Amino acid sequence: MIMSGDMIIAITYLYANRRNIMANFYCKWCGSKYSSVSSLVNSSCSDSPSRKHELYEGPEENYYYCVYCGNKYSSLSSLVHSSCSDSPSRKHVPFDGGEKAQYTCKYCGTTYSSLSSLVHSSCSKSPTRKHQPAK
Ligand SMILES: [Zn+2]
Ligand SMILES: [Zn+2]
Ligand SMILES: [Zn+2]
């Protein structure tokens, strides 16, 4: 299929619009919400290893999933403040790939229909011996 110039402009416009709706920015360590990236990254964060907030790069969703255990939370701040027995930091870490119909292991390429079944299955190619989701 060959895309016309008009079509490319329409897609670019749609994409730009989608980004504009996302007016909130969240820290991936503590879940704090900021209205601009610069104010987020310049504030200090007691939960971050670097002591500064770091931007959560995933989309705003109805639910957020832990990348280590697959648990689902309705807000980023409740996710990051709950303890996680599967995470090296002992806290849940948000998966920033968004909600998907299928999740793929970034080491072996196996696909699963849920994040929690992916992260709980063993993987011979992964350094942690468990599948890890690709974004
Ligand atoms: Zn933070
Ligand atoms: Zn977790
Ligand atoms: Zn795998």
Closest ligand by atom to 67 CA = 2
Q: How many domains, the chain?
A: 1
Report H helices in the chain. Answer: 5-21, 37-41, 76-80, 115-119
Whether 32 is in a domain gets the answer: yes
Q: Which residue has the tokens 């504009």?
A: 20
Q: Is 16 helix (H, G, I), strand (E, B) or coil?
A: helix
Q: Which amino acid is at 65?
A: Y
Structural domain boundaries, residue 26: 1-57
The mean pLDDT values, 10 residues at a time, for the chain of 135 residues are 62 53 83 93 93 91 92 93 92 90 96 95 95 94
Confidence (pLDDT) at 59: 83
Q: How many angstroms does the Cα of residue 19 sit away from the middle of ligand 1?
A: 22
Q: What is the pLDDT of residues 6-17, one digit of tens each?
A: 665 665 555 555
Please choose, from the candidates 38, 42, 40, the residue with its C-alpha nearest in 3D space to the C-alpha of residue 28: 40
Q: What is the pLDDT of residues 57-80, one digit of tens each?
A: 988 888 899 999 999 999 999 999
Q: How many angstroms does the Cα of residue 80 sit away from the middle of ligand 2?
A: 9
Whether 2 is in a domain gets the answer: yes
Whether 80 is in a domain gets the answer: no
